[in-house]
Structure 1
């Protein structure tokens, strides 16, 4: 039972850090194509690549930040690791990062530099995580080098923006 209380205390600390910040997290989009003349031979549009490791770099404590792994068509977001229990407790130590979101998505088409997508949650994977979202779908938006999404904890919602590591 002490482990459960310690894990809950750790989650509450991260939740307070997430919901306690009031600064806007989503940067405004800018247009760089205004005034450019069309090229004689249009280059082949590049595929927007979202794959890789991402983090919430605006976290109050850089050691306690959400991280994400994105593959071609899947996104997984994790809560940070945190200490549980007290020294000498049978259940003391470090709790590994916990899954917050796992879901699939359709990758962007070539030529897109902003992209909004709905990720369909992997409910089977998220049911195994005490700290996972209960949503079945989640909207994500990529713009200006960041992926934004809404995170809701106990009725408080904050838009977080992940940036590539």
Structure 2
């Protein structure tokens, strides 16, 4: 009976990469539900706030340090299904809620965009249009 011994040399495994493999955290789909507050208001006691719940978004004009709220938008919300940004959807106005609100938008749709922790959209009042930027409240 013969004994055969085989020696393997030079069979090391190396990878050519950036050295970052496995260290990059997986991006998560953002959860946009909750309370949002305008960050780019020109006034401390007057701003817009939004509530996202289920498949709806409601936006209010807030004045008097929060003592007065007037409906600006009531519409549909479509949650993101990927972590890709920017994320946008066209919210459809619920006219049954906004038609009797004096400060509400009469637009049929409003494009909402989420990017880098900020929710933004255009708001118009008295002939002036501005981009409203909201941050999620904790």
Where on the TM-score scale, by shorter chain, does this alignment land: which range? 0.7 to 0.9
Identify the match of residue 62 of structure 1 among 44, 47, 66: 44
Shift of 1:58: 1.9
Indicate the larger mover: 109-118 or 119-128.
109-118
2:45–2:64 CA contact under 8 A, matched in 1:
no
Equivalent residue, structure 2, for 1:53: 35
Equivalent residue, structure 2, for 1:119: 91
- For structure 1, the 5+ residue unaligned runs are 1-34, 84-93
- For structure 2, the 5+ residue unaligned runs are 1-17
Given the two structures, how large is their TM-score scaled by the length of structure 1? 0.63
Higher-Rg structure is 2
- Select the structure that is richer in strand: 2
Shift of 1:59: 1.5
The number of aligned residues is 119
Shift of 1:47: 2.5
Given the two structures, how large is their TM-score scaled by the length of structure 2? 0.74
Equivalent residue, structure 2, for 1:96: 68
Task: Tell me the alpha carbon deviations over residues 16-45 of structure 1, each in whole angstroms, 9 at most, x when there is no partner.
Answer: xxxxxxxxxxxxxxxxxxx89564xx95x6
User: Aligned partners of 1:117 and 1:38: how far apart in 2?
Assistant: 34
User: Aligned partners of 1:48 and 1:115: how far apart in 2?
Assistant: 10
> Aligned ranges for residues 16-165 of structure 1 at < 5 Å?
39=22, 46-82=28-64, 96-165=68-137
2:90–2:110 CA contact under 8 A, matched in 1:
yes
The structure 1 segments of at least 4 consecutive aligned residues displaced by more than 4 Å after TM superposition are: 35-39
Q: For 2:58, what is the secondary structure of its paired residue? A: strand
Equivalent residue, structure 2, for 1:28: none
Compare relative contact order (CA 8 Å, sep 6+) and give the higher one, 1 or 2.
1
1:48–1:112 CA contact under 8 A, matched in 2:
no
Pairwise CA RMSD: 2.7
Task: Tell me the alpha carbon deviations over residues 91-134 of structure 1, each in whole angstroms, 9 at most, x when there is no partner.
Answer: xxx97311000101221113334301100111100012111001
Distance 1:128 1:112, change over 3 A: same
